[in-house]
Amino acid sequence: MHERAFGDPRIPVLVDTLHAAPAPLPPLSFVATVDDRVVGHVMLSASRLDAPRRLVDVYVLSPLGVLPEWQRQGIGTRLVAHALDAAGDVPLVFLEGSPGYYGKRGFVPATPLGFRAPSLRIPEPAFQVAVRPSYEPWMTGTLVYSAPFWDLDCVGLRA
């Protein structure tokens, strides 16, 4: 499903690797189905925020994919909303993606709030965060992606 949605064979491998990797928070995956066919998927995986006081366990929303023939029908929006609801008491959910899309779904630019992207390959407007109720003002710093993102070179938006 993700290979068709993204046109990138690394994305299904990333999903499998994130599910199997040891992490401080459990990975969460949600699918959208139509007539018992998976047409969309979103994942929350654990990462850490290197904050001044201590490391903070956070989620990264990635990937979000919807099959091309099912895009622009609200499936991705519902998947994002469900993922954010399921994030529990995690204080922050980060992502890299379109500000026009994710800005309408609860995400704001991360840099003005004192967060640093984990890579220079992430354009500043694409680095976004959903601030959750358990967030505290001291929670600023650098997002540290889990190893699978680096191992599979799935960091940063590509042309």
Query: Residue 33 falls within a domain, yes or no?
Result: yes
158 lies in a domain?
no
Q: Is the pLDDT of residue 87 over 90?
A: yes
Question: Is residue 55 predicted with pLDDT exceeding 80?
Answer: yes
**Burial class of 33 by CB neighbour count within 10 A (0 to 12, 13 to 18, 19+):** exposed
111 located within any domain: yes
- Rounded distance between C-alpha atoms, residue 127 and residue 110, angstroms: 6
pTM score of the predicted model? 0.92
pLDDT of residue 6: 77
CATH number for the domain including 23?
3.40.630.30
Query: Apex CA 91: angle with CA 12 and CA 99, to 5°?
Result: 60
Q: Does 78 reside within a domain?
A: yes
**Domain containing 47: what range?**
2-151
In a domain, 156, yes or no: no
**Residue 101 covered by a domain:** yes
Listed in sequence order, the DSSP H helices in 21-141 are: 75-86, 99-102
Domain count, the chain: 1
pLDDT in tens, 89-146: 999 999 999 999 999 999 999 999 999 999 999 999 999 999 999 999 999 999 999 9
In a domain, 98, yes or no: yes
In a domain, 61, yes or no: yes
CA–CA separation, 45 and 83 (whole Å):
11
